[in-house]
């Protein structure tokens, strides 16, 4: 190839300085890959997850109805406001696992599996519809319980009988929460199978898709009320509750769209940060290249090169490296997207069709890959090519007058300090702009790393908040209710149980002044001075035993009913009876839906279920919680005792199980945040490695002098490694100083988007310490390689170094 001499020089410089060129290329590639990964993940997630979700015609709302027969849905569908209506039967039973454990199985029956109108299923394997005595399992249930087509499932019905169901096939229901998140198995059966199981053949739920304004919650709720009033209740059926599916409460949105948006927000912040960090690294590395080239710049100027020619030369150099980095970033970004999407798809149960690159992503990476390095390198290039020929050739880029800074002056005054440490410390502060850039990169990377940990810690704190409302070892539902005294007495007969508390629970609705009703609210009637709840009041006060017609609402309710506030009155409708209540307090977020607390007597007066309770919550030792196994034992004893005394055949739930299920929903957030923290650590490490390499390069001659006067290999290593560690520790201190505000901002953003609540921030000291260990290790590792190379040079080689 007949390149002109100047371009030949640039090509050879890239090839001959492989380490430095690779550092620039990798820096650019990693930064761009992060951008590509994130943007591609967002794009594919929207295409596949949200696309697949929309394609199954997700219900705008669900109505739980007293038992009805097929045909009612046709009347509903005849309304012009309703596009589609789907009758469903929901029945929860227990299944026996191979290890003897019981699990809840939510069985869904529809009139015609060949014509599911709303929340359509995708068939994965086996039969397309369940046979008599057969079941189609949702794929996350099948995978988690290790069940395949043809396997037999043992189902336990209330009457104590066991039935065997054959797994006819595996289906994918994108509208359902995966087994690992819900903790509930999901299967589809025919009505004839339910009859075979001894159940009455009726439907109890309807899924509806509105005709217009499908994403307008107000409109959807209006249609829901019209359906209730005009068709369902007027035909003699009772509406138990109306629900808009999903965490966001927005019709048409995927159930975890809030959490996904939280993750995407974090990723997008990191993507922007990655670009800034990479720009900082490119500045440092290009500065390094130019420092190495100062003499050559001087030579070229001495033989006639103008500043413009040299600027063009090094701009092409940077563009060349940027282009290589960009090309590498394409497969790397694609791989990253694949990893993220695979993780997300497995966790939230959707299919990734193809992981590909679009022209827009390619253009984005290419644009950034060429402009960011060029923009970042412009300053060092202009600075490097402005140097005078004399300084370049005879001073090798260093000013002839050495300016001693404050730190150096202080170091010189420290007389008792070890000379090698003194040398390391002095070297650290010698090139202050470079130190500044390195510290900037490491500090930002460190602060974000710590912020990621603080965000996770804050999310965990929100989950911990939940524990205030689950302050029991085990609880068991009593469908239909039972006498409070009997229930508590039977629970306390179990030797391990010290405290038992019966709660009355009912569904209620706030009736607004315009006659509209709210979504379903769980209304809890509490005994006096309850011990299985430790509420945190964000406003107002908690209930007093003497309170009458007073309620405390939770923040979850306020999110849906913003007009409710302490001091206001609300018209509460329970079981057809309405009563005005004073709101006296607001309890913190439960993350389990809208809830309202009142004294037990008031609720039972409204429901007419005097002395009846719907759930009992027990504690082995008041003030403390048992271990996982202790809670499991108590739960089992409670089930057995209540079954024996015919109080309830329901399955108990332990505190541990509730937390395990809830926490798992946030594990994906942790994994992604940790991945992001890892990328930041890599970028920070590259920055420090580049700086140390440059520092050593500049001091090759000094190292030669040290070796010539008797410094050992180890002493040289010690000087360099101490320098790297010093930079690391300084950056750690700076990161620590800004980690609190940065962590708070990130945590607030993540929690607000993913949980829809204002977070109570919790700073992560673990993150602070982990980053200290990582950054010191990075400092040692990144300085070891250049130190080893420098220390291995012979004195003659070093002193001849040009």
Partner 1 sequence: MLISGRERILNGFYSKSSAFEQPTLLEEENLTHFSIEIRDLTKSYKTPAGAVPALKGLNLELNYGEFLAVLGKSGAGKSTLINMITGIDHPDSGEIFVEKIPVHALNEDQCARWRGLNLGIVFQFFQLLPSINLIKNITIVMDFCNRYQPEERKERAMYLLEQVGIAEHAFKTPSEISGGQQQRAAIARALANDPPVIVADEPTGNLDSHTLGEILDLFSTLVGNGKTLLVVTHDKEVASRATQCVEIQDGKIIPEKWGSSF
The nearer residue to partner 1, 7 or 740, going by C-beta atoms, is 7
DSSP string of 36-79, one letter each residue: HHHHHHHHHIIIIIIHHHHHT---SEEEEEEEE-TTHHHHHHTS
- Round to whole Å and give the CA distance between 131 and 113: 11
- Cβ closest to partner 1, residue 383 vs residue 489: 383
**Please, what is the minimum distance in Å from the beta carbon of residue 349 to partner 1?**
56
| Shortest distance in whole angstroms from residue 303 CB to partner 1 | 4
* HSE (side-chain half, CA atoms, 13 Å) at 139: 18
**Token pair 């104590």 is at which residue?**
160
With beta carbons less than 8 A apart as the criterion, state whether 630 and 656 touch. Answer: no
Residues that bind partner 1 (CB under 8 A): 4-6, 8-9, 12-13, 16, 295-296, 298-309, 388-390, 393-394, 400-402, 802
Looking at residue 152, what DSSP letter applies?
E
Q: Taking a C-beta distance cutoff of 8 angstroms, is the pair 789, 695 a contact?
A: no
Q: Nearest distance from residue 670's CB to partner 1, in Å?
A: 48
CB 754 within 8 A of CB 443: no
- Token code pair at residue 97: 């696992």
Is residue 757 within 8 Å of 751, Cβ to Cβ?
Answer: yes
Query: Minimum CB separation from partner 1 for residue 293, in Å?
Result: 10
Distance, in Å, from the CA atom of 506 to the CA atom of 503, rounded to the nearest integer, reads 10
Q: How far is CA 538 from CA 515, 566, 567, in A?
A: 29, 10, 14
Q: Smaller CB distance to partner 1: residue 302 or 568? A: 302
* Structure-token pair, residue 710: 């008797």
What is the CA 49 to chain-centroid distance, rounded? 16
DSSP string, 476-523: EEEEEEEEHHHHHHHHHTSTT--EEEEEEEEEEEEBPTTS-B-S-EEE
State the minimum distance, in angstroms, from the CB of residue 791 to partner 1.
Answer: 22
Give whichever of 4 and 416 is closer to partner 1, judged by the CB atom. 4
Residues with Cβ within 8 Å of residue 476, at least 6 apart in sequence: 615, 616, 635, 638, 639, 642, 648, 650, 651, 652, 653
In the complex, minimum distance from the CB of residue 391 to partner 1, in angstroms, rounded to a whole number: 9
Residue 719 neighbours by CB under 8 Å, 6+ apart? 420, 423, 424, 427, 706, 711, 787
The residue among 403 and 413 lying less far from partner 1, judged by its C-beta, is: 403
Shortest gap between Cβ of 692 and partner 1 (angstroms)? 23
Between 390 and 678, name the residue whose CB sits nearer to partner 1: 390
Given the structure tokens 């009139």, which residue do they identify? 111
* Residue placing its CB nearer to partner 1 in the complex, 18 or 541: 18
Strand partners, 569: 582
Provide the angle, in degrees to the nearest 10, between the axes of the packed helices 257-302 and 307-348: 160
User: Rounded to the nearest whole angstrom, what is the least distance from the CB of residue 796 to partner 1 in the complex?
Assistant: 15
> 295 vs 641, which CB is nearer to partner 1?
295
Distance, CA of 310 to CA of 102 (rounded, Å): 76
- 300 vs 721, which CB is nearer to partner 1? 300
| Nearest to partner 1 of 13, 247 (CB atom) | 13
Report the C-alpha gap between 25 and 15 in whole angstroms: 12
The smaller minimum CB distance to partner 1, of residues 9 and 536, is found at 9
Which C-beta is closer to partner 1: that of 300 or that of 606? 300
- Minimum distance, C-beta of residue 324 to partner 1, in the bound complex (Å): 18
Q: Smallest gap, in angstroms, from Cβ of residue 295 to partner 1?
A: 8
Taking the complex as a whole, the smallest distance from the CB of residue 723 to partner 1 amounts, in Å, to 25
Q: Which of 497, 505, 503 is nearest to 522 (CA)?
A: 505
Tell me whether residue 309 or residue 544 sits nearer to partner 1 (CB atom): 309
Which of 791, 786, 774, 788 lies closest to 690, judged by CA? Answer: 786
Which residue shows structure tokens 């761009």? 32
Smallest gap, in angstroms, from Cβ of residue 284 to partner 1?
A: 22
**Minimal distance, residue 16 CB to partner 1, in Å:** 5
Q: How far is CA 78 from the centre of its chain?
A: 42
């Amino acid at each position: 190839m007949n390149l002109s001499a100047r371009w030949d020089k640039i090509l050879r410089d890239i090839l001959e300085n492989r380490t430095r060129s690779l550092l620039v290329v990798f820096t650019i590639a990693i930064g761009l890959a992060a951008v590509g990964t994130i943007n591609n993940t967002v794009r594919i997630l929207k295409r596949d997850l949200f696309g697949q979700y929309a394609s199954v015609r997700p219900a705008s709302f669900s109505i739980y109805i007293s038992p009805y027969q097929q045909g009612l849905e046709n009347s509903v569908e005849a309304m012009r406001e309703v596009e589609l209506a789907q009758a469903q039967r929901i029945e929860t039973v227990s299944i026996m696992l191979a290890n003897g454990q019981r699990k809840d199985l939510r069985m869904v029956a529809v009139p015609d599996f060949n014509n599911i109108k709303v929340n359509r299923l995708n068939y994965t394997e086996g039969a397309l519809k369940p046979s008599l005595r057969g079941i189609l399992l949702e794929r996350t249930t099948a995978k988690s319980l290790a069940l395949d087509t043809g396997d037999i499932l043992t189902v336990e019905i209330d009457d104590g009988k066991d039935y065997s169901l054959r797994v006819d096939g595996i289906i994918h229901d994108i509208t359902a929460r995966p087994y690992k998140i819900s903790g509930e198995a999901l299967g589809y059966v025919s009505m004839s199978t339910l009859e075979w199981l001894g159940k009455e053949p009726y439907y109890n739920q309807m899924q509806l898709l509105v005709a217009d304004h499908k994403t307008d919650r107000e409109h959807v709720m209006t249609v829901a009320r019209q359906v209730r009033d005009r068709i369902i209740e007027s035909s003699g059926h009772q509406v138990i509750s109306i629900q808009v599916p999903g965490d966001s409460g927005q019709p048409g949105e995927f159930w975890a769209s809030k959490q996904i948006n939280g993750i995407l927000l974090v990723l997008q912040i990191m993507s922007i940060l990655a670009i800034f960090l990479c720009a900082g690294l490119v500045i440092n590395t290009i500065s390094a290249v130019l420092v190495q080239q100062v003499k050559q710049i001087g030579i070229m100027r001495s033989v006639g090169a103008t500043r413009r020619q040299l600027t063009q030369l090094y701009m092409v150099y940077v563009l060349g490296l940027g282009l290589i980095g960009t090309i590498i970033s394409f497969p790397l970004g694609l791989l990253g997207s694949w990893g993220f999407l695979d993780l997300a798809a497995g966790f939230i149960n959707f299919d990734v069709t193809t992981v590909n690159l679009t022209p827009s992503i390619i253009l984005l990476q290419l644009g950034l890959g060429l402009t960011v390095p060029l923009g970042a390198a412009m300053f060092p290039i202009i600075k490097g090519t402005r140097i005078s020929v004399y300084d370049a050739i005879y001073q090798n880029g260093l000013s002839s007058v050495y300016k001693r800074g404050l730190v150096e002056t202080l170091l010189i005054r420290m007389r008792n300090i070890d000379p090698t440490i003194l040398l390391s410390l002095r070297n650290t502060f010698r090139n202050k702009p470079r130190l500044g850039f390195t510290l900037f990169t490491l500090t930002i990377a460190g602060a974000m790393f710590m912020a990621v940990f603080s965000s996770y810690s804050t999310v965990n704190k929100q989950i911990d908040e939940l524990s205030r409302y689950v302050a029991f070892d085990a609880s068991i539902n009593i469908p239909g209710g039972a006498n409070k005294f009997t229930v508590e007495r039977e629970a306390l007969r179990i030797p391990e149980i010290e405290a038992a508390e019966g709660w009355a629970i009912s569904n209620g609705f706030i009736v607004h002044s315009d006659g509209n009703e709210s979504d379903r609210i769980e209304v809890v009637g509490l005994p006096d001075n309850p011990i299985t709840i430790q509420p945190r009041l964000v406003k107002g006060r908690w209930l007093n035993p003497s309170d009458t017609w007073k309620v405390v609402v939770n923040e979850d309710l306020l999110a849906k009913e913003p007009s409710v506030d302490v001091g206001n009155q609300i018209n509460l409708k329970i079981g057809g009876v309405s009563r005005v209540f004073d709101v006296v307090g607001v309890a913190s977020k439960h993350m389990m839906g809208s809830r309202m607390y009142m004294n037990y007597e008031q609720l039972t007066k409204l429901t007419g279920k005097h002395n009846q309770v719907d759930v009992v919550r027990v504690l082995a030792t008041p003030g403390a919680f048992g271990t996982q196994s202790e809670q499991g034992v108590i739960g089992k004893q409670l089930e057995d005792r209540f079954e024996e005394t015919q109080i309830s055949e329901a399955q108990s739930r332990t505190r541990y199980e509730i937390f395990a299920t809830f926490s798992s929903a946030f594990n994906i957030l942790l994994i992604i945040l940790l991945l992001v923290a890892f990328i930041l650590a890599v970028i920070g490490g590259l920055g420090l490695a580049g700086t140390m390499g440059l520092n050593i390069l500049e001091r090759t001659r000094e190292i030669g002098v040290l070796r010539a006067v008797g410094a050992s290999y180890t002493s040289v290593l010690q000087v360099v490694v101490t320098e790297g560690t010093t930079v690391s520790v300084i950056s750690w201190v700076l990161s620590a100083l800004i980690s609190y505000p940065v962590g708070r901002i990130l945590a607030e953003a993540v929690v607000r988007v993913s949980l829809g609540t204002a977070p109570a921030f919790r700073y992560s000291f673990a993150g602070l310490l982990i980053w200290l260990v990582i950054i010191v290790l990075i400092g040692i590792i990144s300085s070891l390689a250049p130190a080893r190379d420098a220390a291995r040079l012979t004195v003659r080689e070093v002193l001849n170094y040009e």
